[in-house]
Amino acid sequence: MTTQLECNNLGFAYGKKPIIGGVNLRFNKGEFVGLIGPNGAGKSTLLNLLTGLLKPTSGHVNLVGQPLKQYKQRDIARHISLVPQDVSIDYAFTVREIVAMGRNPHLGAFQPETQRDRDLIDLAMSKTDLSQMTTRSANQLSGGERQRVFIARAIAQEAPILLMDEPTASLDLCHQLEVLSLVKALTESGHLAIAAIHDLALASRFCDRLVLLAEGKIVSQGSPAEVLTKENLYRYFSIEAEIEPYGDDEQSVRITAIRSCSADKSSTDKNSADKNSTDKSVDHLSTNLNR
C-alpha cells in the first residue's frame, strides 16, 4: 500500500480554542475514506489542514513522503483537488470557465488551453452531467448543480488525491449516487479520495474505511461495519439505530435510525452534572466536617 497523505500528532486551535488534537492518520492510494462525526467534530478543519489551507499548531502533514509545508501552493494543487463545503460563487463565471480552472495548476501564466486540456474539461463535464449547461452562469445554478460544477473542476484538475467536504450535501438522490459512484470508480483506478460525509448510509455503502471524529479526536476507525456500531451511533450521534449487514463483503451495513437520544443524553449529562455537583457538595461538606 502506498501512503499518499499522512498526518502525525496533528493539532490545531483557533486562538486558544483547541479544535483538532493528536490526530495520526495514513491515507493510501486507491482508498475511499469517509470522515464522519457530529456537527463541529472537526471534519472540515481536518480537510483544510490536509490541503495546507490551515497551518497546524502541532504535528505535521506529509504529502507523498514530503512535509506539506515544503510544497508551493501550485504543486499541492497538482497533487490534491478540493471540493469545498461552500460552493457559492460571487462572479458570473460560466460553468465551463469554472471547470477549466481545474487546469490552471498545469498551465503556465497566459498559456492557452491545449486540445488535451479541452478534452479533459469536456470529459469532466460529461461525467458530472453538466454538458448541457456549459455556457450557463454558475451563480444562477441551484446549490446541487453548483456542487457538481466544483466536482467537475476537481476531476479536470487530474490530481491523484481528491478531498471533498460534504460533496453530496445538496444533491438529489440520483446525483448523490452518480457522484459517489464516480468517486468510487476514480479510487478503483488508483486515486485516493477522502470525503467528510454526514449521510452514514452513503458512507457505509461507498467508503472502504471510515474515520469517526468527535471533539477533534479520532474515536474509531475501520471498515464501515467496524465503525458504525449501535454503541458509536448512540454515543457520538445521539441516535438509537438498528444495524444490519449489507452487501456481499460484510464490510457495509444498513442503518435504520429509530429515535434521537439527545434528550436522554442531556438528562443523563444533567444527572451526572447534578451528581457531580452533589458529589462536590458532599466533598465540600466532608472537607468542612473534617476541619
Ligand X SMILES: Nc1ncnc2c1ncn2[C@@H]1O[C@H](COP(=O)(O)OP(=O)(O)OP(=O)(O)O)[C@@H](O)[C@H]1O
- Least separation, in Å, of the C-beta of 92 and ligand X? 28
Using CB under 6 A as the binding rule, whether residue 168 contacts ligand X is answered as no
Closest to 163 measured CA to CA, from 53, 263, 19: 53
- Least separation, in Å, of the C-beta of 37 and ligand X? 5
Residue 100 C-alpha cell reads as: 477549466
| 22 vs 40 by CB, closer to ligand X | 40
Residue 255 C-alpha cell reads as: 442503518
Report how far residue 95's alpha carbon sits from residue 122's, in angstroms, rounded to the nearest whole number: 11
Mask for 183-212, x = binds ligand X (CB under 6 A): -------------x----------------
- Least separation, in Å, of the C-beta of 70 and ligand X? 25
**The only residue of 44, 128, 168, 252 in contact with ligand X, by rule CB under 6 A:** 44
Size of the site for ligand X (CB under 6 A): 11
- Least separation, in Å, of the C-beta of 14 and ligand X? 4
**Angle between helices 143-156 and 173-188 in degrees, nearest 10:** 10
| 48 vs 130 by CB, closer to ligand X | 48
- Least separation, in Å, of the C-beta of 80 and ligand X? 18
What residues between 14 and 43 interact with ligand X by CB under 6 A? 14, 19, 37, 39-43
Residue 271 C-alpha cell reads as: 444527572
- Least separation, in Å, of the C-beta of 165 and ligand X? 7
Phi then psi for residue 244, to 5 deg, are -130, 150
**The only residue of 45, 51, 187, 232 in contact with ligand X, by rule CB under 6 A:** 45
Binding interface with ligand X (CB under 6 A): 14, 19, 37, 39-45, 196
